[in-house]
Chain A
Amino acid sequence: MKLNIKEFPKIPERLGSGHRLCSGCGAPIVAKMVLMGTKDPVVVTNATGCLEVATTIFPYTAWKTPFIHSAFENSASTAAGVEAAYQSLKRQGKIKREIKILAIGGDGGTYDIGLQALSGALERGHDFVYLCYDNGAYMNTGVQRSGSTPRGSSTTTSPAGEAVPGKQQFPKDLTAICAAHKIPYVAQGAISNWKDLITKASKAFAVKGPAVLNVLSPCPPGWKHADDLAVEISDIAVNSKIWPLYEIENGQWRITYKPRDKKIRPVEDWIKMQGRFRHLTKKENHHIIEEIQQWADENWDRLERMEKATSSEGGSE
Chain B
Amino acid sequence: MTKNFIKPLTGASAVSEAMRQIDPDVVAAYPITPQTEIVMKFSQFVNDGKVNTEFVPVESEHSAMSACVGASAAGARAMTATASAGLALMWEILYVAASNRLPIVMPVVNRALSAPINIHCDHSDTMGARDSGWIQIYCESAQEAYDNVIAAVRIAEHEKILLPVMVCQDGFITSHAMERVDILEDEKVKKFAGELKLPFPLLDTDNPVTYGPLDLFDYYFEHKRQQSEAISHVFEVTDSIYKEFEKISGRKYNRVETYKIKDAETAIVALNSTIGTAKDVVDALREKGEKVGLLFPRMFRPFPAEEIAEKLSGLSAVAVLDRSETFSGTGGPMLADIKSALYEKESRPTILKYIYGLGGREINPAQIEQVFSDLKEVKKGKKVEQVVYLGVRE
Contact with A along B208-246 (1 / 0, CB 8 A): 111111111011000000000000000000000000000
B70 in contact with A66 (CB, 8 Å): no
Q: How far is the CA of A78 from the CA of B209 in the complex (A)?
A: 16
A74 in contact with B59 (CB, 8 Å): no
Contact with B along A13-55 (1 / 0, CB 8 A): 0000000000000000000000000000111010000001100
B214 in contact with A85 (CB, 8 Å): no
Contact with B along A76-106 (1 / 0, CB 8 A): 0111111111111101100101010000000
**Is the CB of B363 closer than 8 A to any CB of chain A?**
no
**Is the CB of A202 closer than 8 A to any CB of chain B?**
no
A41 in contact with B58 (CB, 8 Å): no
* Size bin of chain A's contact surface: 35 or more
A82 in contact with B73 (CB, 8 Å): yes
Q: How far is the CA of A82 from the CA of B93 in the complex (A)?
A: 15
Interface hit among A57-65, A154-162, A171-179, A255-263? A57-65
**Is the CB of A229 closer than 8 A to any CB of chain B?**
no
When distances are taken between beta carbons in the complex, the residues of chain B under 8 Å from A43 are: 74, 202-203, 205
When distances are taken between beta carbons in the complex, the residues of chain A under 8 Å from B28 are: 80-81, 84
Q: How far is the CA of A53 from the CA of B214 in the complex (A)?
A: 6
Interface hit among B6-14, B48-56, B382-390? B48-56
A63, A78, A85: the one contacting B203 at CB < 8 Å is: A85
**Is the CB of A285 closer than 8 A to any CB of chain B?**
no
When distances are taken between beta carbons in the complex, the residues of chain B under 8 Å from A42 are: 205
B52 in contact with A120 (CB, 8 Å): no
A64, A71, A81, A117: the one contacting B26 at CB < 8 Å is: A81
B54 in contact with A85 (CB, 8 Å): yes
B213 in contact with A57 (CB, 8 Å): yes
Interface centre among A58, A67, A97, A121 (most CB of B within 10 A): A58
The residue on A at minimum CB distance from B57 is: A124
**Is the CB of A56 closer than 8 A to any CB of chain B?**
yes
Q: How far is the CA of A67 from the CA of B26 in the complex (A)?
A: 19
| Distance to closest chain A CB from B285 (angstroms) | 51
Q: Known contacts A73-B62, A78-B67, A123-B59: does B202 contact A92 (CB below 8 Å)? A: no
Interface centre among A52, A65, A78 (most CB of B within 10 A): A78
| Distance to closest chain A CB from B27 (angstroms) | 9
Q: How far is the CA of A77 from the CA of B71 in the complex (A)?
A: 10
B96 in contact with A70 (CB, 8 Å): yes
**Is the CB of B118 closer than 8 A to any CB of chain A?**
no
When distances are taken between beta carbons in the complex, the residues of chain A under 8 Å from B25 are: 84-85, 88-89, 92
B66 in contact with A117 (CB, 8 Å): yes
**Is the CB of B331 closer than 8 A to any CB of chain A?**
no
B93 in contact with A74 (CB, 8 Å): yes
A69 in contact with B212 (CB, 8 Å): yes
B62 in contact with A77 (CB, 8 Å): yes
**Is the CB of B249 closer than 8 A to any CB of chain A?**
no
A95 in contact with B203 (CB, 8 Å): yes
**Is the CB of B60 closer than 8 A to any CB of chain A?**
yes
The residue on A at minimum CB distance from B74 is: A85
A71 in contact with B71 (CB, 8 Å): no
A45 in contact with B70 (CB, 8 Å): yes
**Is the CB of A116 closer than 8 A to any CB of chain B?**
yes
B66 in contact with A71 (CB, 8 Å): yes
B203 in contact with A89 (CB, 8 Å): yes
| Distance to closest chain A CB from B57 (angstroms) | 7
B56 in contact with A65 (CB, 8 Å): no
**Is the CB of A119 closer than 8 A to any CB of chain B?**
yes
A71, A85, A91: the one contacting B93 at CB < 8 Å is: A71
B58, B203, B213, B218: the one contacting A69 at CB < 8 Å is: B213
B58, B69, B203, B218: the one contacting A86 at CB < 8 Å is: B203
The residue on A at minimum CB distance from B28 is: A81
When distances are taken between beta carbons in the complex, the residues of chain A under 8 Å from B205 are: 41-43, 65-66, 97, 99
When distances are taken between beta carbons in the complex, the residues of chain A under 8 Å from B210 are: 56, 61, 63, 66-68
Q: How far is the CA of A81 from the CA of B214 in the complex (A)?
A: 21
A53, A65, A78, A92: the one contacting B52 at CB < 8 Å is: A92
Q: Known contacts A68-B202, A69-B211, A85-B70: does B58 contact A120 (CB below 8 Å)? A: yes
Q: How far is the CA of A77 from the CA of B59 in the complex (A)?
A: 9
B56 in contact with A124 (CB, 8 Å): yes
B: which residues have CB within 8 A of A?
25-26, 28, 52-54, 56-60, 62-63, 66-76, 78, 92-93, 96, 100, 202-205, 208-216, 218-219
Q: What are some 21 contacts across the A-B interface (CB < 8 A)?
A: A52-B214, A58-B213, A60-B213, A61-B210, A61-B213, A68-B69, A71-B96, A74-B63, A74-B69, A77-B63, A78-B67, A80-B28, A81-B78, A84-B25, A85-B70, A86-B74, A88-B54, A91-B52, A92-B25, A117-B62, A124-B58
- The list of the 9 closest CB pairs from A to B, nearest first, reads A81-B70, A120-B59, A81-B67, A41-B205, A85-B76, A77-B63, A85-B74, A56-B213, A69-B212
